Amino acid sequence: MLSARLKPLWPPLLTGVAFIGLWYLAREIIAPERKFMLPSPHAVWIAFGEHHEALLSASFNTVIGALVGFFAATLIASLLAITLSLSGLIRAALYPYLMMLQMMPIIVISPILVLWVGAGLPSVATITFLISFFPLVVNTTQGLISTDRKLVELFTMYRADRWQELRYLRIPAALPYFFTGLRIAGVLAPIGAIVGDFSAGNSAGNGGGLGFLALIYSARFKMDALFATVLSGCALGFLFAGAIALISRLSLSHWHESYEKVDR
């Protein structure tokens, strides 16, 4: 029983070990004067220890920026999705501009954002917002407009008004779509916060995040610490994704078929 549950763990572990092996091998192959570009895995591990205070405080700042931007995006995207779901005309009028928002090279506008909202947390949160907004709006709107036709007829049959239909039918039916959007946005949010920090961060009052820290380490050619910073960013992504997967499971598992146990 226990071995059966642990079974799925060994394939990724094996891949990880093989990857680290290849990493060491690569260091053996490259010329000595270039070795500084690729710190060894154990050097990265040591860097984690050496810089743990800076990394922790920067991660904390990044998480705050990511959370503020992510929550704002979730709230505003949900309200916008409800508005968009009301009519095809509204969707037609707004969709191209939403697409534009998504296509926008955010890193290029970040200097303007610094001027508009100020450096540090405001900019970081705004950039996170811009990056995680689109998947949330698109998925939630799709969910709100793809309600089972039979169920909509049922509500018509019971003479439900528009608000009742939204509250008791469309919103709960859209939840699985909403969570799909949330999962995509949740992975993007820490990336957005780090990118924002990279281009519009602020170290004043120990306010810098992982992006700012990465700038400092790369300027000082501290490659091992830079790698540790990148890996911390990955860890934040996993943290966000895990938390959202958990919330999604808690909200959907009692009824949605995606959580149904299947025999394989």
Partner 1 sequence: MEPSPPFVRLQALRKKFGADSLVIDGIDLTVAPGEFVAVIGPSGCGKSTLLKMIAGLSPVSSGQLSIAGQSPDALDSELAYVFQEPTLLPWLNVSANVELPLRLRGIPAESRAKTVTRCLAQVRLREKATAFPRQLSGGQQMRVSLARALSLSPRLLLLDEPFGALDEMTRNHLNEELLRLREEAGWTAFFVTHSVAEAVFLANRIVIMSANPGRIAHLVEIEIPYPRRPETREDPSFQQRVAHVTQLLRSVESKAA
Tokens of 197: 């920090």
260 touching partner 1, by CB under 8 A: yes
156 touching partner 1, by CB under 8 A: yes
Taking the C-alpha atoms of residue 65 and residue 209, their distance in angstroms, rounded to an integer, is 8
43 touching partner 1, by CB under 8 A: no
Tokens of 183: 């999962």
Place of tokens 């931007």: 69
Supply the minimum distance, in Å, between the C-beta of residue 154 and partner 1: 5
Specify the stretch interacting with partner 1 by CB under 8 A; choose among 39-47, 79-87, 134-142, 148-156: 148-156
Element (H, E) at 251: helix 223-252
Helical residues (DSSP H) of 87-222, grouped into ranges: 88-103, 106-117, 121-145, 149-157, 162-164, 171-200, 210-219
258 touching partner 1, by CB under 8 A: no
256 touching partner 1, by CB under 8 A: yes
Specify the stretch interacting with partner 1 by CB under 8 A; choose among 58-66, 103-111, 189-197, 253-261: 253-261
Supply the minimum distance, in Å, between the C-beta of residue 246 and partner 1: 18
Specify the stretch interacting with partner 1 by CB under 8 A; choose among 37-45, 59-67, 164-172, 208-216: 164-172
Among 24, 158, 221, 238, binds partner 1 (CB under 8 A): 158
159 touching partner 1, by CB under 8 A: yes
In one letter, which amino acid is 165?
E
Nearest to 182, CA basis, from 145, 136, 140: 136
**Which of residues 50 and 153 has its CB atom nearest to partner 1 in the complex?**
153
The contact pattern for partner 1, residues 174-213, with x = CB under 8 A and - = no contact, is -x--------------------------------------
Do 144 and 174 contact (CB within 8 A), yes or no? Answer: yes
Report CA-CA distances (Å) from 69 to 14, 93, 162, 237, 241: 36, 25, 31, 14, 15
Footprint of partner 1 (CB under 8 A): 148, 150-151, 153-160, 164, 168-169, 172-173, 175, 254-257, 260
